[in-house]
Amino acid sequence: MQTKFTPVSGQDPNNIPYNPNATLQEQVMQSFSASKKNLGTSYIDSFFLHSPLKTHKETMIVWNAMEEIYNLSGISQLGISNCYDLATMQKLYDDATVKPSVLQNRFYQETHYDVDLRQWCLDHGVVYQSFWTLTANPNLLKSTEITDIASSKNMTPAQVLFRYLTQVGVVPLTGTTSDVHMIEDLAIFNFELSDAELDKIYKILPNSGVVLQL
């Protein structure tokens, strides 16, 4: 059960789940309560900061509020998303008392698939979660490298991409309105890609050196 605090800059101004005029710390507290209410739960496993704020100082005010909630509410982990700059991630990690356990980023060519950040995550025991994995990668899904492997295994290209990611240390997030897709998404754990197949896909995810270092 995962939810996040999104700063005012990332909110729909007509639907902010906290008082935007409150202090940052109060905003985090109100947002966390609103999330639990909306989800109908008293318990959250994983609490995220949607993205770094404009300054490191502001980011740390929010992070410290999240740490307070972590200490009081029995949350298992804190994380951050939309953090595409390694120095920003490193600074948060250095200054945090409760270290970020997860980085959740858009997985796409524009950021070179976060190769540096993914390596940093592996080195620091931080889980890397990908989103927009299918949405942002139609070319990967259409590539012969992936479609050939999919046909040979009687799987879909989406399943092969998701399976590849799990085998190189990424946790892909996805969502679906389709029963068939949901079954397919969960079935990725019923097969495995060989080293040769991993290598084929590795060649079309440029600069993705992570696979070699697992």
Token look-up 């100082």 returns 57
CB 93 within 8 A of CB 65: no
**Cβ-based nearer residue to ligand NAP, 97 or 110:** 110
Q: Which is nearer to ligand NAP, 45 or 199 (CB)?
A: 45
What track of x and - describes contact with ligand NAP for positions 155 through 194 (by CB under 6 A)? -x-x--------------xxxxxx--x--xx---------
The tokens for 101 are: 């356990």
d(CA 159, CA 149): 10
Nearer to ligand NAP, 185 or 197 (CB): 185
Among the candidate windows 87-95, 132-140, 143-151, 203-211, which touches ligand NAP by CB under 6 A? 132-140
DSSP 3-state of 190: helix
**CA distance linking residue 48 with residue 199, whole number of Å:** 33
Q: How far is the CB of 135 from ligand NAP (least distance, A)?
A: 3
Nearest to 214 by CA among 171, 169, 172: 169
Reduce the DSSP state of residue 60 to 3 states and report it: helix
- Could you tell me which residues come within 8 angstroms of residue 108 by beta carbon, excluding any fewer than 6 positions away? 132, 136, 137
**Contact yes or no for 141/118 (Cβ under 8 A):** no
In the block, tokens 């209410």 appear at 37
Nearer to ligand NAP among residue 10 and residue 20 (C-beta): 10
CB of 10 to ligand NAP, least distance (A): 8
| Residue closer to ligand NAP, measured from CB, 71 or 148 | 148
Closest separation between CB of residue 159 and ligand NAP, Å? 6
Q: How far is the CB of 136 from ligand NAP (least distance, A)?
A: 7
| 128 in contact with ligand NAP (CB under 6 A) | no
Binding site for ligand NAP (CB under 6 A): 50, 81-82, 104, 131-135, 156, 158, 173-178, 181, 184-185
